[in-house]
Chains A and B, each alone.
Chain A
Amino acid sequence: MSVPIDLVVNGGDVHAEVEPRVTLLDFVRDELGLTGTHAGCEQGACGACSVLVDGAVVRSCLMLAASASGSEIVTIEAVGTPGRLHPVQEALWRHHGLQCGFCTPGVVMTAIDLLAHVPAPTEEEVREALSGNLCRCTGYSGMVDAIVAAGRAASTGPPTP
């Protein structure tokens, strides 16, 4: 059985036929080649696969591609460019908020969602928001500093993807 889906990914229309059991994570990685979204635990524990669905951060391993039909998806590929980083990416870079980088795409998406709701979050709010993103390099301090700083900087211009 396959299911027809229509969705918008990073601003482009996508029409596809998917097997029902294919998650949004596997769809963007394997069908669309958008491998910036990382497959970590594949059971909703690590947050590495976080993407934006209709503007809200979601774990793409916990959503079927079939359920995403009709939605607008933003993956890390559409956030910033190498020459012009997104403010969250810039802040992570400046504050040493990444080491191996595996969890980073999910962290960036989580931070974008947080800053959309809480423009200038406190350290406590950042830690709470990041509680669902596991970093095996134990690099949380830099991440927290970065997102707090990105929030402060955003008072002069809101970060949007």
Chain B
Amino acid sequence: MKPPAFEYVGATSVAEAVAVLASEEDAKVLAGGQSLLPLLALRLARPSRLVDIGRLRLDEIELGPDDSPAAGAYAGGAGGPTLRLGALTRQRRLETDAAVGRAAPLLREAARYVGHPATRNRGTLGGSLAHADPAAELPAVAVALDALVVATGPDGSRQLTCAELVEGYFTTTLEPAEILTEIRVPAAGPRHGAAWSEWAPRAGDFAEVGVGVALELDAHGVCHWVGAAACSVASVPLVLGPALAEAGVVGAESAAPALLRAVAQSVKEAASAAGDDKAELAALLAARSVADAFERAQRDRARLDQAEPAA
């Protein structure tokens, strides 16, 4: 079908876009459009006006010092560097950008599972978070990595965690006139390993379940932090970091079979509300991600040890 009729504003500034959203209840933001255009074509959405923010320069990626008061839970700890991504960063760029690969390898790996190359060339990171599809990879990654988002509205900007942003099925805590403008991801520290595993019937389909894990080892090779989340098992990304830590990932030196069994058991329990099939799948994928993340963190450790031999 064809989209229904609507008015169109090609926004030239965030302030202009916010003003239009504030003045009209049924106005909606158009970013990359890879979820909104299908909704329009199927006539599941009927906005009175679309505010196209696609030409705003909100696509810069920069690795900078952390000045966000809410950060600090992450491995690097308070004061660690933060990867700042403009909300309109294209999903394709998450796959190819070197800074993203270094500072947030989980984001890079998961991006490859988002739709297809042609949709990733248009789809944006901020759009995916604001759309809050429970089957989407990027909100789960953002939650796993304790990312923060910046929302800009008529009264200025505020910062909130991704867990606070995503409220339920396709629902966020953004105010009607707020636009998501930036995503702040605590950057990976040394001896970092991350892995995204998912199962979908065909490449590019929505995941039946997806699980992302990032972890870091200390100088002795012992895991001191793990972050994890799953998509497609609940109405919001299912937080798994604390469960994995408790299952023994924190304190472990490698993904021994006993550890992976404990991981699978704890994830199965955490995902039990989604039904047996999904819970079992989540458990398997979590174990796979933990194993891959450990292997990559150990490789990173070996690389660092080679570069700086212990005195």
* Chain A residues packing against B (C-beta within 8 Å): 1, 3, 19-21, 23, 26, 42-45, 47, 50, 53, 56-59, 61-64, 66-67, 69-70, 110, 113-114, 117, 127-129, 131-132
Assess A64 versus B115: contact at CB under 8 Å? Given A20-B6, A21-B4, A56-B92. no
Cβ of B50: which chain A residues have Cβ within 8 Å of it? Answer: 20, 64
CA separation between A32 and B84, bound complex, in Å?
A: 41
Tell me whether chain A's interface is mostly helix, strand or loop, or mixed.
Answer: mixed
Among A19, A56, A67, which residue has its beta carbon within 8 angstroms of that of B33?
A67
* Chain B residues packing against A (C-beta within 8 Å): 1-8, 10, 30, 33-34, 37-38, 40-42, 50, 52, 54-55, 92, 96, 112, 115-119, 121-122, 202-204
Cβ of A1: which chain B residues have Cβ within 8 Å of it? Answer: 7-8
Q: A26-B2, A42-B1, A44-B41 are in contact. List 8 more A-B contacts (CB 8 A).
A: A20-B6, A21-B2, A21-B40, A44-B38, A47-B116, A59-B34, A67-B33, A132-B115
Cβ of A42: which chain B residues have Cβ within 8 Å of it? Answer: 1-2, 41
For the A-B complex, the count of residue pairs with Cβ-Cβ distances under 8 Å equals: 100
Task: Find the A residue at minimum CB distance from B42.
Answer: A43
Assess A62 versus B96: contact at CB under 8 Å? Given A131-B116, A131-B202. no
A43 and B38 contacting across the interface, CB-CB below 8 Å = yes
Tell me whether chain B's interface is mostly helix, strand or loop, or mixed.
Answer: loop
B10 and A132 contacting across the interface, CB-CB below 8 Å = no
Assess A69 versus B41: contact at CB under 8 Å? Given A62-B34, A110-B118, A131-B204. no
Assess A67 versus B54: contact at CB under 8 Å? Given A21-B40, A44-B38, A110-B117. yes
Cβ of B37: which chain A residues have Cβ within 8 Å of it? Answer: 23, 43-44, 61-64
- The winner among A43, A64, A70 for most chain B CB atoms within 10 A is A64
Shortest C-beta distance, B136 to chain A (Å), equals 15
CA separation between A62 and B52, bound complex, in Å?
A: 14
Cβ of B54: which chain A residues have Cβ within 8 Å of it? Answer: 67
B122 and A21 contacting across the interface, CB-CB below 8 Å = no
Among B34, B38, B52, B92, which residue has its beta carbon within 8 angstroms of that of A64?
B52
A62 and B38 contacting across the interface, CB-CB below 8 Å = yes
Among A3, A62, A132, which residue has its beta carbon within 8 angstroms of that of B8?
A3
CA separation between A110 and B119, bound complex, in Å?
A: 11
Task: Find the B residue at minimum CB distance from A109.
Answer: B118
B203 and A58 contacting across the interface, CB-CB below 8 Å = no
